Homo-oligomer: A and B are copies of this chain.
């Protein structure tokens, strides 16, 4: 959808302009406060001659200009007629603040939204909302936001789109945030969140795409946009509601979004290298850090510089909590620092420069340059608590020092980390912003953000299969049914999974013939789609060898099952050569209603159940993604030559994972669930063995 007239209009009409509180009043005030060139901004209100000193038109028809964007501040029932009027003036975009649509969940509301959608489509108007707070375009000087906020320069390069107007406003209220666009998407079922994201990923003024979302409408488009961002290396930072069940429910009722599994969402973002954050402070600070830094560090290699020992230990400890490591300085750096710092300082990374340094801008610059020149270091973290009212003059000297260094051609990225959040001095916050130094939130947040940054710069999109296989799954109850073990294995065989050295014996004689032919101990299992827990009903017997044993077991199993499951439909007895034991793994697939097959891998038994040590990844996936999944397991060392043992056949295991994903993609419309448990992994070069498999289809 073309959002140009909506988000970058040449001419704007505010319908329902007003000087009282409310949508109309808010928009008009924001326009007067923030928009410098108002020559093509028109206020419309049939009952007013002037609003806030600006001439009012009775209707859009009276305006002697075309109208790109109509900002409709009036109640629900007026909206569709106004869209028709606007269309007459060439309108291509409209903001609709009114609520009472699908978000209320009533039949009337849903019908109203449908009617709005139809009108918009037939008139070719891109609609923001309904039930939204509007938007501000800080690069193009457009104000269509309904809530007022303090007067301040907000022009920057973070493009925000949010399904919550309040969170949008809170970010605009933050003194450190600077935007290209700030968009409150509202119900976002007409122009969707994915549409706005696509616009911002494309937009040259937007350096970072910053998203609050409660659910995804169009998973294919969502994936396509994330792929585009990954390829452009434009960071997407995302706060998504629904880590907890409660939040999932609230989000669904708030905007009526479909919600897939939150874990699937997590896995999808990981695949596309988008950054998922945990709260609004992180969303803001992560986005603003990425937007402020002139460039990102080449490696996650940080140096920390602080004015005191206490601060230095905090930077060491909190960094270690988030897996941030400080490389050692080289001998040259240490030598230089020993010369530059007072005698009682002990050069080290993290570095306590001692406070004396903060009263000498030249010396500060010198030490900063020394640290920056260290080849092991790619980004410098300056620990300093910038107060609102400056009681101590050290920031003057420090700033001067940093500013000198920031002009160096080979200046590496710098960020400032306060130890306590309070009121940051606006003058110095601004100055630091303008030389490309973001101030992060205090340490726990700061090092969490640096961990996000580290993961982001290490992400290699070109090694991933940047696509999803979304299903046409609907939330309707569908009949699901399980396949028998034999049928499950047979289906998987077609994708190269398993050996197929199995037979369903329909008679004692067939069983004996199989056992005689393979001439190794066999496993015998009841074969029935009706019996999922075969062991529980005496339906599984292991290590059977010799004709007599096979005959006896055949009858024993049938007797057990007839007694315990008299109604089960029995296909026979599944005969298979007894598999040698290896390391037990589980491979599963859950077909997510939004994102399609999500592959799960974990170590069998208590590892999955007690430690929840599993890796999830959306299909399709390639060998390097399968390997990444395995490596993300805490139990991975057990596969990789634990305690001097032989490494397992990780290659074969990865191949199986890739094949399972391929099977799931090919059967996305019929697969409900897949469970291979256990798959035995043998020593390197010796492959894997599929002991049991279960397909649930729909």
Interface residues of A (CB under 8 A from B): 99, 103-104, 147-150, 162-167, 170-171, 173-176, 212, 214, 239, 241-244, 246-247, 249-251, 253-255, 278-282, 284, 307-314, 316-321, 326, 344, 346, 348, 350, 352, 355, 385, 387-389, 391-392, 419-424, 441-445, 448, 606, 610-611, 613, 634-635, 637-638, 642
Determine the chain B residues whose CB is within 8 A of the CB of A254 once the complex forms: 309-310, 313, 352
Q: Which of B103, B246, B278, B420 contacts A284 (CB 8 A)?
A: B420
Does the CB pair A176–B246 fall under 8 Å? no
Does the CB pair A246–B310 fall under 8 Å? no
Does the CB pair B308–A420 fall under 8 Å? no
Shortest C-beta distance, A491 to chain B (Å), equals: 29
Determine the chain B residues whose CB is within 8 A of the CB of A99 once the complex forms: 344
Does the CB pair A313–B421 fall under 8 Å? no
- Given contacts A167-B311, A420-B170, A422-B174, whether A279 and B326 have CB atoms under 8 Å apart is no
CA distance A312 to B99 in the complex (A): 19
Does the CB pair A389–B150 fall under 8 Å? yes
Does the CB pair A317–B419 fall under 8 Å? no
Determine the chain B residues whose CB is within 8 A of the CB of A175 once the complex forms: 388, 422-423
CA distance A148 to B423 in the complex (A): 18
Shortest C-beta distance, A425 to chain B (Å), equals: 10
Does the CB pair A247–B317 fall under 8 Å? yes
Does the CB pair B610–A278 fall under 8 Å? no
Determine the chain B residues whose CB is within 8 A of the CB of A321 once the complex forms: 243, 278
Does the CB pair B247–A320 fall under 8 Å? yes
CA distance A170 to B212 in the complex (A): 33
Q: Which of B250, B282, B319, B444 contacts A352 (CB 8 A)?
A: B250
Does the CB pair A311–B166 fall under 8 Å? yes
Closest to A162 in B: B310
Determine the chain B residues whose CB is within 8 A of the CB of A249 once the complex forms: 348
Total copies of this chain within the assembly: 2
Does the CB pair B444–A247 fall under 8 Å? no
Does the CB pair B391–A317 fall under 8 Å? no
CA distance A361 to B2 in the complex (A): 45
Shortest C-beta distance, A637 to chain B (Å), equals: 6
Closest to A281 in B: B442
CA distance A421 to B326 in the complex (A): 27
Determine the chain B residues whose CB is within 8 A of the CB of A312 once the complex forms: 247, 250
- Given contacts A308-B164, A638-B610, whether A280 and B241 have CB atoms under 8 Å apart is no
Closest to A312 in B: B250
The 10 residue pairs across chains A and B that have the minimum distance between CB atoms: A164-B310, A244-B320, A166-B308, A247-B316, A241-B313, A254-B309, A281-B442, A247-B313, A423-B423, A243-B317
Does the CB pair B422–A176 fall under 8 Å? yes
Q: Which of B241, B388, B423 contacts A317 (CB 8 A)?
A: B241
Does the CB pair A173–B391 fall under 8 Å? yes
12 contacts between A and B (CB under 8 A): A162-B310, A164-B311, A166-B355, A214-B313, A247-B316, A250-B346, A250-B348, A250-B350, A279-B443, A422-B423, A444-B448, A610-B634
Does the CB pair A444–B388 fall under 8 Å? no
CA distance A346 to B348 in the complex (A): 55
Of the listed residues A170, A212, A308, A313, the one surrounded by the most CB atoms of chain B closer than 10 A to its CB is A313
| Contacts A167-B311, A278-B444 known; 12 new A-B pairs at CB < 8 A | A167-B308, A173-B420, A243-B317, A250-B346, A253-B309, A254-B313, A278-B443, A281-B419, A281-B420, A281-B421, A444-B444, A444-B445
Determine the chain B residues whose CB is within 8 A of the CB of A246 once the complex forms: 316, 320, 326, 348, 350
- Given contacts A385-B173, A444-B282, whether A244 and B319 have CB atoms under 8 Å apart is yes
Shortest C-beta distance, A131 to chain B (Å), equals: 10
Does the CB pair B167–A310 fall under 8 Å? yes
Does the CB pair A442–B279 fall under 8 Å? yes
Shortest C-beta distance, A187 to chain B (Å), equals: 12
Shortest C-beta distance, A229 to chain B (Å), equals: 23
